[in-house]
Structure 1
Amino acid sequence: MSILLLLTTLLLSACQGHSATLLPPTANFLMENIRLLSQLLQTQGSCDEMNVTDVFAGGKTGDDVEMLCKAATVLWESHSCHSYLEGIYSNLLTLVQRKNIGHKAPCPVAEATTTTLKEFLRALHRLHQRLMKTRSWE
């Protein structure tokens, strides 16, 4: 599946600027984050067990832009842990800014509940996949 995602990304980047682009520009940022998150989740890192704020606690649903904005804040606080986190953070900022619904990243997060960085990245990966599958980002 990873190869298919990579091929799709390459094809989409080759079509940029043409009217035949199938996905909205925001989908490219989502797809790139899905790829980066997949790679991070397949590796073992020294920061995997680091505690971070759990913005996904309790299975909150609702404002996806706010969730991505809060996730960007958490990633910024731990971006020095892995170089991929900087790319994911940057993509999240772009996604939030493109939606421009009153959220100005980084969003404040309440530090009530924590989780490991690895579990946080899994939840962020699931959110990205849901956004792509439901096309709710368009």
Structure 2
Amino acid sequence: MSVPVQVLLTFLALSACRGHSASLPPTSTFLKESIQLLGKLLGTEVSCAEMNVTDIFAGNKQDNATELLCKASTVALEGRSCHKQLEGIHLNLLHLVQTRSSVHKVPCPVAAGNTTSLKHFLQDLHRLLQQLAKE
């Protein structure tokens, strides 16, 4: 074999191996799917969008992202009567929490307190997931 053919074969072999390592980790698939579902939900007008849910994003800024995801999964589950897609978001959030931490046991307790509309909760969750996707 000539040198250029050996170099070409080596390059092709390395390119094939690199493709596998560059694939997205499974958690990013759940994250992207949740972002897409939330985008669709936010574009949908429903009468229950003003339904009150616990505002997990207000006040306590000391919760880390995993804690917020865990609490958000609980609120999403509670709001599934308004949007059926929230059950899928709930499952995706559960998967993200379980892969990020073994400490958090789901469902996470959500303390009663401040409330917000379901629409605002979905907007805040959408922003959080977009931030996590950028990291």
* TM-score class, shorter: 0.7 to 0.9
- Equivalent position amino acid for 2:131 in 1: R
Moved over 3 A (4+): none
Secondary structure in structure 1 of the residue aligned to 2:67? helix
Give the structure with the higher percent helix: 2
User: Distance between the aligned counterparts of 1:21 and 1:38, measured in 2?
Assistant: 26
1:89 counterpart letter in structure 2: H
Residue identity over aligned pairs, in percent, reads 56
Once residues 84 and 21 of structure 1 are traced to their aligned partners in structure 2, the CA distance between those partners, rounded to angstroms, is: 30
Q: Which one has a bigger Cα radius of gyration?
A: 2
Instruction: Tell me the residue number matched to 2:129.
Output: 128
CA distance in 1, matches of 2:60, 2:130: 15
Please report how far the alpha carbon of residue 61 of structure 1 lies from its aligned counterpart in structure 2 after TM superposition.
5.1
Q: What is the one-letter code of the residue matched to 1:132? A: A
State the Cα distance separating 1:62 from its structure 2 match. Answer: 4.5
Letter matched to residue 56 of structure 1: F
Show structure 2 runs of 5+ residues with no match: 1-18
In structure 2, the partner of 1:31 is 32
Name the SS for the 1:105 alignment partner: coil
> Where does structure 1 lack aligned partners over 5 or more consecutive residues?
1-17
* 2:97 matched residue in structure 1: 96
1:50 is matched with which residue? 51
- How many pairs are equivalent? 117
| Aligned-CA RMSD value | 1.5
SS at structure 2 position matched to 1:57: coil
Preserved contact between residue 73 and residue 107 of structure 2 (Cα < 8 Å): yes
Q: Contact between 2:49 and 2:82, CA under 8 Å: does it hold in 1?
A: no
Query: Where do 1:1-138 residues align within 5 Å?
Result: 19-58=20-59, 60=61, 62-134=63-135
* CA distance 1:103–1:121, shift in 2 (3 Å): same
Q: Is the 8 A contact 2:94 2:106 kept in 1?
A: yes
1:82-137 Cα deviation digits (max 9, x unpaired): 11101100100111111123001110011110000000000000000000012xxx
Q: For the residues of structure 2 that align with 1:119 and 1:102, how far apart are their CA atoms?
A: 28
Q: Taking structure 2 as the reference length, what is the TM-score of the superposition?
A: 0.81
Q: Counterparts of 1:101 and 1:47 in 2: how far apart (Å)?
A: 34
